[in-house]
């Protein structure tokens, strides 16, 4: 099949541009990861491949990965448990106070994490055990991610169709607990899963708030990453990036698959 020349030429330019942009984005990633596998970055591949940087990172920072995942999962669970009822209350309330609260709730997203972190330290810094535990970082992450849950789930609750669903349940005799657990939450399940996934992702990658809140003994993955970039050889930092990709990406993909399944099951 022959096509007019002009129709051919444009997509070709476009394809070329796409390839260029993609290469521009991917090269740093690829280079950064492979840098973690060579003996000496300045000499490149000629210096030979090694896993010793990976081992060194695992030794020194393996626990940051573990704690990052613990914090991210706890954060997703807690923001869901706290955020879903809050979202429901805000979606159903017509008071001006509720609207104002909704506005305030998004502040932690807009305010630089450093400022939020400083505020938390000023108020709770003197509680030593709290300050020195991972709980302190978890609280910071909850403050930062809760707005995402409330916003996402709240707009799902505000859906007109959901208001009818709730009324239908009431006419059939369902009290509040039955309506919330049996009808409303299943109906907004896709939004809940999507927001929990977003919270998990945000928490894993959160740096600037966490950097303010961490102590030498409580470090998350991104903080450890910054530490290694600042204080170690470039190969170690790159190996760290590689570990991040190897562990976190499959996990996120897996969660996305689960989320898609839920969407299919509960979606209308």
Partner 1 sequence: MELECTSVHIRQCAKTYPDGTQGLLPSSLDVHPGEVLALLGPSGCGKTTLLRLIAGLETVDQGGVIRFGTQEVTQVPVERRQIGMVFQHYALFPQMTVQANIAYGLRLRGVGDQQLKQTVGELIDLVRLKGFERKRPAELSGGQRQRVALARAVAVRPKVLLLDEPLTALDAKLKVTLRDELADLLRRLGVTTIHVTHDQQEALAIADRLAVMRSGKIIQVGEGEALYRNPKHMFVAEFLGRINRLQRTPQDIVSDTVTLAQIAVQCPHGPWPDIFVRPEDIQLKPLTVMQPIALITQRSFLGDRIHYRLEVAGQPELAAEAHRDSPYRVGERVSITIAPEHFMACESEQ
Binders of partner 1 among 249-268, rule CB under 8 A? 265-268
Asked whether position 19 contacts partner 1 by CB under 8 A, the answer is no
Q: What DSSP string runs through 127-191?
A: -HHHHTSHHHHHHHHHHHHHHHHHHHHHHHHT-HHHHHHHHHHHHTT--HHHIIIIIIHHHHHHH
Give the residue with the Cβ less far from partner 1, 9 or 99. Answer: 99
Looking at the DSSP assignment, which residues form a beta bridge with residue 49? 38
With binding defined as CB under 8 A, does residue 175 bind partner 1? yes
Among positions 21, 172, 181, 249, the unique one binding partner 1 when judged by CB under 8 A = 172
Contact status: 95 vs partner 1 (CB under 8 A): no
Minimal distance in Å, beta carbon 163 to partner 1? Answer: 9
Angle between helices 221-231 and 52-92 (to 10 degrees): 140
Reference 74, options 135, 6, 125; nearest CA is 135
Per-residue binder mask for partner 1 (CB under 8 A), 132-171, x = binder: -----------------------------x--xx-xxxxx
Burial of 194 per CB tally in 10 Å (0-12, 13-18, 19+): buried
Q: How far is the CB of 101 from partner 1 (least distance, A)?
A: 20
Does 118 engage in binding with partner 1 (CB under 8 A)? Answer: no
Q: How far is Cα 18 from Cα 257, in angstroms, rounded to an integer? A: 27
Chain residues in the site for partner 1 (CB under 8 A): 94, 161, 164-165, 167-175, 178, 182-183, 186-187, 189, 265-268
């Amino acid at each position: 099949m022959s096509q007019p020349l002009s129709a051919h030429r444009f997509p070709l330019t476009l394809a070329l541009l796409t390839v260029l942009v993609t290469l521009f984005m991917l090269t740093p990633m690829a280079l950064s990861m492979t840098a973690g596998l060579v003996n000496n970055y300045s000499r490149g591949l000629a210096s030979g491949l090694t896993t010793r940087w990976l081992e060194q990172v695992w030794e020194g920072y393996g626990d940051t990965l573990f704690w990052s995942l613990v914090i991210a999962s706890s954060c997703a669970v807690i923001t869901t448990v706290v955020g879903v009822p809050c979202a429901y209350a805000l979606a159903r309330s017509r008071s001006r106070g509720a609207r104002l609260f909704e506005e305030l709730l998004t502040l932690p997203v807009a305010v630089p994490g450093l400022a939020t972190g400083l505020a938390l330290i000023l108020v709770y810094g003197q509680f030593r055990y709290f300050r020195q535990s991972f709980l302190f970082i978890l609280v910071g992450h909850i403050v930062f991610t809760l707005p995402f849950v409330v916003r996402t789930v709240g707009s799902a609750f505000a859906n007109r169709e959901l208001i009818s669903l709730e009324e239908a349940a009431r006419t059939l005799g369902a009290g509040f607990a039955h309506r919330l657990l049996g009808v409303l939450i299943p109906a907004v399940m896709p939004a809940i899963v999507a927001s929990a996934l977003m919270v998990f992702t945000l928490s894993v990658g959160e740096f600037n708030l966490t950097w303010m809140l961490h102590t030498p003994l409580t470090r998350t993955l991104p903080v450890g990453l910054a530490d290694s970039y600042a204080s170690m050889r470039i190969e170690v930092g790159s190996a760290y990036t590689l570990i991040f990709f190897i562990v976190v990406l499959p996990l996120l993909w897996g969660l996305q698959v689960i989320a898609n399944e839920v969407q299919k099951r509960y979606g209308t």
